[in-house]
Structure 1
């Protein structure tokens, strides 16, 4: 599981329209484009699918292509083959925000598995930090999709949960980046703990 409570500042690339959800209720749908750059200054445009409960005709009329908006909501990520899709369930949408710069900020929550390698390093001031990656797994039809996140943890404290192939729950600062024209997820770790999956009770077992 990977999700984030995020704030997105970007340009509407598909105007707002009304759609009907699986529950039969209307919602507002649109797409927002955000430019994401790498360390070398090159970058990609990320299309974020936005949905907001309910539909207001007057509000939708203002949410047109080319308008800059700032949106607060819950962000989810969906990996399909080589493409990472980004969805945002909006709580607030503001037109003409003070900042005119594309950005995505927020708090990431991750439940998954650490990769096989953990790099332990020391900075110029003698502080310790760790660099590692982790993945979350989603079953799609008969296959599995793996969404990876790159983590950086600045701490001198040992963490028993931070071991290769360990199951962890992590909370930290979200960062979107790109590498070889593909969207990457990164996180600066604030909290890390062992993740214990909840066992599904056997409904056939007698009490």
Structure 2
């Protein structure tokens, strides 16, 4: 599970349309393009699919293709094959005072499995920190897909339970970047703990 509480600033890429889910709940659906800066090389434009519960478009501020808007809500990541999809369940939309700069700012909640390398490091100023990657798995039909996140935990050494394939619950600040034309997810941890996996869990 990767769940992020975010504020997104970007450009409307798809006109808002009314839709309904399987339960019959009405919602507005539209797209936002956001330019994510690359660590090196070319920046990447990603599209976020936005859904906002409402009974009609008249309940929302004007959402015009090409305009810059700010949307707050819960961002989820879903992977199919090699493609990573970003879906935002909106709680608020602001078209009047939106920042001119693209960005995704917020916090991440993560539940998944630790990778093989968990490293203790030290900054130039002598502060200790831990670096590792972990993945969240998702079942699509008969297959599993895996979304990896890089974690950094400052002022703390590796804890005893942090071993390869151990389950982890983590919370922290979300950072998005681009590496080799792929979206790179990073979390600066504020708190983390061992996740005791259940036998029916989708996580391996």
TM-score normalised to the size of structure 1? Answer: 0.91
Equivalence for 1:161: 161
Equivalence for 1:84: 84
Structure 1 residue 159, shift from structure 2 partner = 2.1
Equivalence for 2:109: 109
Structure 1 residue 119, shift from structure 2 partner = 2.1
Runs of 4+ in 1 over 4 A off after TM superposition: none
In the alignment, the residues of structure 2 paired with residue 192 and residue 62 of structure 1 have an alpha-carbon distance, to the nearest angstrom, of 40
The answer to whether the Cα contact below 8 Å between 2:12 and 2:69 also exists between their aligned partners in 1 is yes
Residue aligned with 2:16, SS:
strand
Residue aligned with 1:13, SS:
strand
Q: Does the C-alpha gap of structure 1 residues 98 and 16 become closer, same or farther in structure 2, counting only changes over 3 Å?
A: closer
Matched pairs, number: 200
Q: Aligned pair 1:174/2:174, yes or no?
A: yes
In the alignment, the residues of structure 2 paired with residue 143 and residue 36 of structure 1 have an alpha-carbon distance, to the nearest angstrom, of 29
Structure 1 residue 41, shift from structure 2 partner = 5.8
1:113-192 superposed matches below 5 A:
113-192=113-192
Equivalence for 2:70: 70
In the alignment, the residues of structure 1 paired with residue 179 and residue 39 of structure 2 have an alpha-carbon distance, to the nearest angstrom, of 9
In the alignment, the residues of structure 2 paired with residue 139 and residue 84 of structure 1 have an alpha-carbon distance, to the nearest angstrom, of 14
Structure 1 residue 96, shift from structure 2 partner = 3.1
TM-score normalised to the size of structure 2? Answer: 0.92
**Runs of at least 5 residues in structure 2 that lack an aligned partner in the other structure:** none
In the alignment, the residues of structure 1 paired with residue 99 and residue 6 of structure 2 have an alpha-carbon distance, to the nearest angstrom, of 16
Q: Aligned pair 1:25/2:25, yes or no?
A: yes
The answer to whether the Cα contact below 8 Å between 2:69 and 2:98 also exists between their aligned partners in 1 is no
Which structure has the bigger radius of gyration? Answer: 1
1:51-70 superposed matches below 5 A:
51-59=51-59, 62-70=62-70
In the alignment, the residues of structure 2 paired with residue 92 and residue 57 of structure 1 have an alpha-carbon distance, to the nearest angstrom, of 14
String of CA shifts for 1:154-175, please: whole Å, max 9, x gaps: 1234423322221110000011
In the alignment, the residues of structure 1 paired with residue 141 and residue 98 of structure 2 have an alpha-carbon distance, to the nearest angstrom, of 44
The answer to whether the Cα contact below 8 Å between 1:68 and 1:97 also exists between their aligned partners in 2 is no
**Runs of at least 5 residues in structure 1 that lack an aligned partner in the other structure:** 201-207
Residue aligned with 1:34, SS:
strand
